Amino acid sequence: MAWLSTVLVDADRQLYVALLNGKPIGTARADRNEKGYELSWTVAPENRRQGYGKAMVSLLVAQLTGTVRAEIKEGNLASMKIARAAGLNLQYATGGITFWSNEQPDKSAGGL
């Protein structure tokens, strides 16, 4: 619980819990840094493939200003679909990780 206490008072971190009928079904987080925001999210296994992840992340991105980024493991197609639905673009992939941002990819710098 010490981690949660730290998160709740961190002005550079926004943490949201999605509820369905009063039951937590997922979380979405935005960490602010010098480059903008880094996102992370998760949806409970029994609530996946129902659009909740897309809704959570899209709502979070809509309230943020500036650059928004996410790192997603290659092969995690569900999270890639969530990122795309939230307005993020695939920038590049390396080392088994795909890098997404609300910026347009820079094709001259190896972006996709």
- How do residues 58-95 score in pLDDT, each as one tens digit? 999 999 999 999 999 999 999 999 999 999 999 999 99
Q: Phi and psi at residue 15, in whole multiples of 5°?
A: -125, 125
Res. 8 pLDDT band, cuts 50 70 90:
low
Domains of the chain: 2-109 (3.40.630.30)
- How many whole angstroms separate alpha carbon 74 and alpha carbon 92? 11
Structure tokens at 47: 């609530």
Q: Residue 110 has what pLDDT?
A: 52
Q: Are 104 and 88 in contact (CB under 8 A)?
A: no
Is 0.95 surpassed by the pTM of this model?
A: no
